Amino acid sequence: MSNLPTKHDGPRPPINAKDSLNSELPDLKHKEDRTHSKGRVVGGSFLEKLRGNDSDNSEDGPLTEVNIDMPETRTEVITKDGEEYIVLYFTDGDTENPFNWPAGKKIFITLLLCMMTLFIGLATTAYSSGITRMCEDFGVSTTLGQLGLFCFNMSCALAPLFLAPFCELVGRKVIYIGAYAGFIIVFIGLALGKNIATILVMRTLSGFFGCVGTILVGGTFSDMYTPDSRAVPMACFAYVAILGTVGAPIYAGFIDQAIGWRWIEGIQGLANLPLLAAILLFFRETRGGVTLHKRAQQLRAATGDQRYKAEMDLEAKDLKEMLHNSSVKAVKMLATEPVVFAFGLYIAFAWFVTFLFLSVIPITFQEHHGWGEGVAGLPYISLCIGVTIAFALNFLQIRKYQSLTAELGNNVVPEHRLYGAMYGACFLPIGLFIYSFTQYGFITWVAPAIALAPICMGIFFIFESTYSYTADCYGENSSSAIAGQGLMRNALGAVAPLFASQFFHNVGSQYAGLILAIAGTALTFIPFIMYKYGHLLRARSKLASA
């Protein structure tokens, strides 16, 4: 594999914090009639601090004083479409620039978001443990109860296509708080619902609000972390997203057995409240453009000069255009970009297996081995162990990428993100083969329980590598690319529980598992093919990074 291309075929070089912030919007430097009139504006207590600072910032232009508290902010007069504007930018070292936040603050924000993702993942699948008793109470078939999983995942698949643009209008904090509050309120309807129709509507709303745990977190990390420091938080995000999804049945079955299915929802709703309070109190807006937008508003109000603008204000798109970019563009990229489709298919298969096993594990351990409902949830511990091992092993991929970055500098390419997928994702078919051939009742339960660990190891490496590689390949278009992949992933995850039981009963547990293992084996070639030919596909794409 020594023929991997370098800079001539690779992506744009790594960017610094300031560049990363400004890359959210099209570059204004080539707009018509640009006037190079630079300056600074500062006021209030920040002016006193600046006077006590011995550093010389005269190269940034003259200083304008205002009668409000205003951190030192760079300004530049530009002319666009015949109108003159004073555009605001962060100064180097500005503490309100998310890239300049202290490490502790970034870690705390990361922890809040990962906890939110974990709780949303738990709610996704804990519902499955109470389906049987819920359907008995309502007098409906369990197949109808399984629609609750379908509704949640399909809502998660479609909602991001319409919800994501609002982040550009109001920032991330408002969306996080509003959506997470809605997510928690829905637990009331789930716990008190009087019929299956109410439950299905509530699950649809739960998926709509809960999708923020998957669609916004990666972008939020991009707001705070430069590309070379983003790997660890993204790995943490992938870890908790999978851990929550596979870990919920461990406790949910015991709750259902002891106090009923309604308390599965009630306890989860109560458990989410402290985290909502923490996000409400301590989460800070991470989109730097939103911070500059607020500064511009303050300056216009204080000075009466309506020329003050943030760069995002000048390039703001209308809602119709943003909805088009987040929905039509996402689907178009999924259909026309081989890289997006190939890894979308790969991660969709992994998510399909994840939700399929919500029904398969009870078949194996309750039907074949005669376990009770609560105890039958314990094999999910093996899945949790598997994803934890994969998370630890992923640091080898991170170290490898960091060493390549140090060695090659700007010549590092997106394909260097694929080592985890090439050598870690193969655990998925290995685990599926073992699981399929240990489905016989006379074989000890230990064998299929152990097989679950490598299955989840492979799922983690697919999840992490897909998003890292796609983000590096498509740069400013990566949000649309990942949204398209998310659509495919959640759609397959949605349909999996609807026929899982019939599939394994009619085909036979051994042969159904074998079919999955063969499909997983075929898909393991995707990262190897992309490692060798990905640069050629990127070169042919109009949307990939140059």
| Number of neighbouring beta carbons within 10 Å of residue 503 | 19
pLDDT at position 317 is 65
- pTM reported for the whole predicted model: 0.85
Regarding whether 142 and 73 lie in a shared domain, the answer is no
Residue that finishes a domain, picked among 274, 298, 317: 317
Indicate whether 2 belongs to any domain.
no
Q: What is the rounded distance in angstroms from the CA atom of residue 14 to the CA atom of residue 445?
A: 49
Residues 6+ positions from 176 with CB-CB distance below 8 Å = 116, 212, 216, 279, 283
Asked if residue 275 is part of any domain, the answer here is yes
Question: What does 43-103 look like in DSSP terms, one character per residue?
Answer: ETHHHHHHHT-----GGG--EEEESS-EEEEEEEEEEETTEEEEEEEEPTT-TTSGGGS-H
| pLDDT at residue 26, as a whole number | 38
Does residue 10 sit within a domain?
Answer: no
Q: Are 479 and 168 in contact (CB under 8 A)?
A: no
Q: Which two tokens stand for residue 174?
A: 């408002």
Report if residue 326 sits inside a domain: yes
Tell the residue number behind the tokens 């009923």, with chain if given: 260
Whether residues 414 and 276 share a domain: the answer is: yes
Domain presence at residue 3: no
Q: Which residues have CB under 8 Å from 250's CB, separation 6+?
A: 377, 378, 380, 381, 384
Residues in Cβ contact with 36 at an 8 Å cutoff, skipping those fewer than 6 apart? 76
Cβ proximity of 301 and 127 under 8 Å = no
- State the amino acid at position 60 in one-letter form: D
Question: How confident is the model at residue 111, as a pLDDT?
Answer: 96
| Residue at 34 is within a domain | yes
Going residue by residue through the chain (546 aa), what tens digit of pLDDT does each one get? 444 444 434 333 333 433 433 333 334 444 444 445 888 888 888 887 877 665 555 566 788 888 888 998 899 998 888 889 999 999 988 999 999 999 999 999 999 999 999 999 999 999 999 999 999 999 999 889 999 999 999 999 888 887 777 776 788 899 999 999 999 999 999 999 999 999 999 999 999 999 988 878 888 888 898 877 888 999 999 999 999 999 999 999 899 999 999 999 999 999 999 999 999 999 999 988 889 999 999 999 999 889 999 888 887 666 677 777 677 888 899 999 999 999 999 999 999 999 999 888 988 888 888 888 778 889 999 999 999 999 999 999 899 888 888 888 878 888 988 998 999 999 999 999 999 999 887 888 999 999 999 999 999 999 999 888 988 888 767 777 888 898 899 999 999 988 888 888 888 888 999 999 999 999 999 999 999 999 899 989 888 875
Whether residue 415 sits in one domain with residue 508:
yes
Per-residue confidence (pLDDT) for residue 30, from 0 to 100: 40
91 and 170 inside one domain? no
Assess contact for 87 and 78: CB atoms under 8 A.
yes
Other CB atoms within a 10 A radius of the CB of residue 521 amount to: 15
Asked if 428 and 462 touch (Cβ cutoff 8 Å), the reply is: yes
Same domain, 137 and 54: no
Flag whether 545 is in a domain: no
Q: Is residue 227 part of a domain?
A: yes
Question: Do 35 and 111 reside in the same domain of the chain?
Answer: no
Q: For residues 208 and 198, what is the distance between their CA atoms, to the nearest angstrom?
A: 15
The DSSP letter of residue 316 is: P
Q: Do 180 and 199 share a domain, yes or no?
A: yes
User: What range defines the domain where residue 442 resides?
Assistant: 98-285+320-540
Strand 70-80 to 37-43 pairing: antiparallel
Within this chain, do residues 65 and 140 fall inside the same structural domain, yes or no? no
Shared domain for 139 and 267, answered yes or no, is: yes
Q: Which of 4, 25, 9 is nearest to 545 (CA)?
A: 9
* Tally of domains within the chain: 2
Is there a contact between 390 and 457 (Cβ–Cβ < 8 Å)?
Answer: yes
DSSP state of 30: T
**Domain endpoint, select from 267, 300, 317:** 317
Q: Which pair of structure tokens corresponds to residue 102?
A: 């202290």
- Note whether 58 and 171 are same-domain residues: no
pLDDT of residue 418: 92
- Domain at 355, CATH number: 1.20.1250.20
Of the residues 297, 317, 337, the one at which a domain ends: 317
Q: Are residues 129 and 34 in the same domain?
A: no
Q: Choose among 133, 118, 152: nearest CA to 498.
A: 152
277 shares its domain with 423: yes
How far is the C-alpha of 458 from the C-alpha of 102, rounded, in Å?
Answer: 34
Query: What pLDDT, on a 0 to 100 scale, did the predictor assign at position 316?
Result: 60
